[in-house]
């Protein structure tokens, strides 16, 4: 089984690995139900989906009739205006077949123009605060991608006391000193506030080099169990973080298997050797 710890200030003891339900975006219900069995087998009790993850919310909906109490349920809105975000949330609740979610997150809030709209008058932040007051969502988070997102999360946390943040972090990204230091700043701020930190892209190898894709991830993932073990164990070694699983159902059991066997973080020399052997590259272009 996978270890659990308090998910920030929410009062929920979440498994250290959370189910990244982008993996269900193009799945049929039969495949989704098989994934549920995998989650239950490993004891995963936290689902992270989004309004923009294809059919993901539709696939999770049937689970909720039987397993709502078994999972902390998070979704996201990518809208920037309050009106559109309210529509997103109500649609998500319908698709998920629930009367509330545990966590509503501002999805991919990384561009400065989007940020100003989202956090300003009539922006999405107003809608999710209203949703919390109405009991439609219990907690509020913010997510994002790219080399600048750690800095943007610092800005977001200065504007609003979010309950959770989500951002990419892996050994490759940690080699960029600016990103690593800013990520550590986010980790420190969140630690002081008891804000949950979720990391993504732990097993990313780089962009797809060809048009032929063997997995449903938008990036090329690590595939060998030994490499997945190293990447997952390195990410799980970051103090206090939660690891969102891979957006591919075929790789999901490998990630959870690795997480269930976590004991210690692999040494940096092993990680560097893996990066060289797998020819890992940046998902987000050059850092700035």
How far is CA 30 from each of CA 33, 54, 63, 252, rounded to the nearest angstrom? Answer: 5, 16, 12, 16
Question: Is 287 inside a domain boundary?
Answer: no
Residues 6+ apart with CB under 8 A from 125: 106, 118, 119, 160
In the prediction, which pLDDT does 210 show?
73
Domain count, the chain: 1
In the prediction, which pLDDT does 288 show?
60
pTM for the whole structure: 0.97
CATH number of the domain at 93, please.
3.20.20.100
Question: Is 284 inside a domain boundary?
Answer: no
DSSP line for 217-242:
SSSEEP-SHHHHHHHHHHHHTSTT-E
Question: Is 217 inside a domain boundary?
Answer: yes
In the prediction, which pLDDT does 1 show?
81
Measured distance CA(208)–CA(212) in Å, rounded = 8
In the prediction, which pLDDT does 212 show?
83
Measured distance CA(7)–CA(240) in Å, rounded = 9
> Could you list the residue range(s) of the whole structural domain that residue 205 is in?
4-278
What confidence tens digit (pLDDT) does each residue in 80-113 have?
A: 999 999 999 999 999 999 999 999 999 999 999 9
What confidence tens digit (pLDDT) does each residue in 143-165 have?
A: 999 999 999 999 999 999 999 99
What confidence tens digit (pLDDT) does each residue in 126-137 have?
A: 999 999 999 999
Looking at every residue in the chain, the average pLDDT score rounds to 97
Question: Is 41 inside a domain boundary?
Answer: yes
Q: In the chain, what percentage of residues exceed pLDDT 90?
A: 96
- Residue 177: pLDDT band with limits 50, 70, 90: very high
What confidence tens digit (pLDDT) does each residue in 22-75 have?
A: 999 999 999 999 999 999 999 999 999 999 999 999 999 999 999 999 999 999
Question: Is 124 inside a domain boundary?
Answer: yes
Question: Is 285 inside a domain boundary?
Answer: no
What confidence tens digit (pLDDT) does each residue in 191-226 have?
A: 999 999 999 999 999 999 876 889 999 999 999 999
Over residues 230-258, the mean pLDDT reads 98
Question: Is 151 inside a domain boundary?
Answer: yes
Question: Is 288 inside a domain boundary?
Answer: no
């Amino acid at each position: 089984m996978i270890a659990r710890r308090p998910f920030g200030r929410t009062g929920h003891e979440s498994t250290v690995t959370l189910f990244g339900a982008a993996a269900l975006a193009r799945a049929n219900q039969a495949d989704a139900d098989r994934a549920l069995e995998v989650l239950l087998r490993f004891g995963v009790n936290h689902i992270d989906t989004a309004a923009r993850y294809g059919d993901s919310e539709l696939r999770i909906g049937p689970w909720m009739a039987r397993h709502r109490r078994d999972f902390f349920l998070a979704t996201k809105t990518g809208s920037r205006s309050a009106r559109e975000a309210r529509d997103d949330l109500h649609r998500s609740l319908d698709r998920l077949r629930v009367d509330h979610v545990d966590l509503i997150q501002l999805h991919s809030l990384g561009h400065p123009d989007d940020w100003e709209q989202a956090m300003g008058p009539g922006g999405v932040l107003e809608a999710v605060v209203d949703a919390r007051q109405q009991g439609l969502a219990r907690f509020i988070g913010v997510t994002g991608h790219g080399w600048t997102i750690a800095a943007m999360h610092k800005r977001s946390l200065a504007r609003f006391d979010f309950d959770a943040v989500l951002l990419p972090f892996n050994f490759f990204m940690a080699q960029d000193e600016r990103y690593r230091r800013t990520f550590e700043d986010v980790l420190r701020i969140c630690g002081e506030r008891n804000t949950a930190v979720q990391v993504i892209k732990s097993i990313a190898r780089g962009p797809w080099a060809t048009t032929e894709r063997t997995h449903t991830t938008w990036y090329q993932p690590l595939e060998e169990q030994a490499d997945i073990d190293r990447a997952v164990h390195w990410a799980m070694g970051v103090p206090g973080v939660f690891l969102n699983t891979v957006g591919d159902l075929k790789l999901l059991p490998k990630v959870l298997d690795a997480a269930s066997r976590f004991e210690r973080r692999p040494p940096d020399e092993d990680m560097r050797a893996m990066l060289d052997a797998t020819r890992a590259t940046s998902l987000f272009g050059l850092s700035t």
